[in-house]
Structures are given as structure tokens and as C-alpha cells.
Amino acid sequence: MSFAKLSKQLETICAINITPFYMNTKEIDYKGLEENVNFLINNGAKVIVPCGNTGEFYTLTIEEAKTVTKRVVEIVNGRAIVMAGVGYSMETAIELGTFAQQAGADCIMIHQPIHPYVTEQGYISYFKKIIEALEIPSIIYFKDPNLSDDVLKELAPLDKLVGVKYSINDLQRFAKVVREVPKETNITWICGTAEKWAPFFYHAGAKGFTSGLVNVYPQKSFELLKALQQEDQETIWSVWDEVLPFENLRAKYANGNNVVVVKEAMEQVGLRAGVTREPVDPLDKEDQAEVSKILASWGLLNEKAGLI
């Protein structure tokens, strides 16, 4: 597939699949992983992203991250694009990217460097060297507000850079950089802050968005995408209204709830999510009840669950 064609195919939802862990051992539940990924694809997901933050990438060992990527490629088996998350030190990111490429992933998403000290030219060099070390193309996860968008403008001309997951909720900045990066660079701009921000970012040039909600309620995420594509304002804002309580609950405790709310919701609707690993513990009763309330409002809880 040409880089330009792949870039175009990112104008959709990037489904950041969770990594299910068994309740007691917190080991990876690979059977659950298979069920989850199939659920996503059967419900319309065109891009699957293993080893994203919603996949608790940073709670996995390097070896586990590789295995998760490999398994997801096998499960997807050509039915969607696999964008494998890679990160850590530059050398480790290249190692993970090379592994993903050999395993058959279509592209990689390079996480924000975890080193607490970053300079603009150092950042550019970090991404450039990873991008150039691989044959498959890359997507940058851009989330450090201390960096200027100049780094994206410098990286955009690279052939193998096909997308930017923009995760700084500064729409002025975002709209400006989208206008300043030439169209010919074939960058697909992806809203990195999900359904809550997607309507605003879409309007400013992000033709895709990432989603964790999609693990629970893919129909709703795709309803939003379709409404955005059709400029159906009424549906956009009614869906937005519907998903807002869920996304706000995920944002609680400075985003500490981000993944555990998704997992709790999946468990409540009968999907196989299990628990989160440290440094995140299970939801308290109050937040569990809030999840139930939201799921009930969506009509996703049946009588069997005893909640409607």
C-alpha cells in the first residue's frame, strides 16, 4: 500500500484496544484480546491500535508489548489496519517498531518520549531516526504542550510520516498547524483526545479521531464519525451530549480513571476486559454506579444485569 493511500485510510476512528488482564494474576488474557479485537472489527473498526495508552502500554514489559502486537496482527488478519504503539528510549522504540514490522503491522504510532527533558531539535531527531529506521510508515503521538508545532512542520515532509495524533487541546494551535503544513505531505491529522474533542478538531482539520469508548460502544463512536463526515450538526451534538458523561468520568482523578472506566464498562456489558494493572486500581463503588448509570442511559444494560 502506498504511504498516501495508507494516510487516507486513517480518516476514520483509531480504535485503541484495551489489553485485558485476568482479575487475579493480572496476566494478559489473550483469549479476551481476541474477542475484543473481533468485536471492534465486527462493529466497523478499520484501524486497530495495540499498545496505545488505553492498552496500558506502559504497564507492559517490552516482551509483552511485542506479544500483544503480534497477536493483534494475527487476529486482525488483514481485516483492518494495525497501527502498533512503540516508545521508550529511541533504541527500544526502533526495536519495537522493527518487531511490529516483521510481525506484519501496517504502521506504528510513536508515543511521546518519556524522558522528562526534551528539546525541539532533540525531539525531531528522536522521531526522525525512528521513522527512518523502518520501512512501514509512522504516526506521531504529539502531546507535549511545551513543544512548538514547528517540530511537526519539520517532520511533515518525511514520506514515511503519514499521520499525527494531535493531543493538545489547543484548537488555535491545531488549526494553524493544519493550515501551515502543505497538503502534499500526506499527513492525516487525528484528534488524539477522542469523542469529547473530535467535533472541534474535525472542524479544524482532523479527519480522524482516536477512541477508547469504541471498546465499549463502537456504534456510538461510528455514529459520531458518520455525522462528522456528513456534516450532520444535529447528530454530532446529540451524540456528543450522550458520550460526555462517560468521557468526563474517564477524566476524573487527573485522568487516573481513563482506562479503568472503559474496562469497568466493558465488564458490565459482558465484554472481557478484566482489571487494570498498577498504578491504577479498580473503581470505587460510586464510580462503578456512575458507569452503570451511563450504560443504562445508552440502553446497554439488560435486565439480567439487574440495573434497568
Binding site for a second copy (CB under 8 A): 53, 56, 58-62, 88-92, 95, 113-123, 125-126, 129, 146, 253-260, 276-281
Smallest separation, CB 297 to a second copy (Å)? 24
Smallest separation, CB 290 to a second copy (Å)? 15
DSSP 171-230: HHHHHHHHHHS-GGG-PEEEETTHHHHHHHHHHTT--EEEESGGGT-HHHHHHHHHHHHT
Q: Angle 193-197-203 (CA atoms, 0-180°, nearest 5)?
A: 120
**Cβ-based nearer residue to a second copy, 70 or 250:** 250
**Cβ-based nearer residue to a second copy, 113 or 163:** 113
Instruction: Specify which residues 211 forms β-bridges with.
Output: 15
**Cβ-based nearer residue to a second copy, 9 or 19:** 19
Smallest separation, CB 283 to a second copy (Å)? 9
Q: Which of 157, 115, 165 is nearest to 140 (CA)?
A: 165
Smallest separation, CB 59 to a second copy (Å)? 5
| C-alpha dist (Å) from residue 130 to 108, 118, 139, 148, 298 | 10, 16, 11, 20, 42
Phi, psi of 189 (to 5 degrees): -90, 130
**Cβ-based nearer residue to a second copy, 21 or 217:** 21
Q: Which of 212, 274, 296 is nearest to 32 (CA)?
A: 274
**Cβ-based nearer residue to a second copy, 131 or 225:** 131
Smallest separation, CB 174 to a second copy (Å)? 20
**Which cell is 20 given?**
485485558
Task: Give the separation between CA 191 and CA 85, rounded to whole angstroms.
Answer: 16
**Cβ-based nearer residue to a second copy, 52 or 205:** 52
Smallest separation, CB 209 to a second copy (Å)? 18
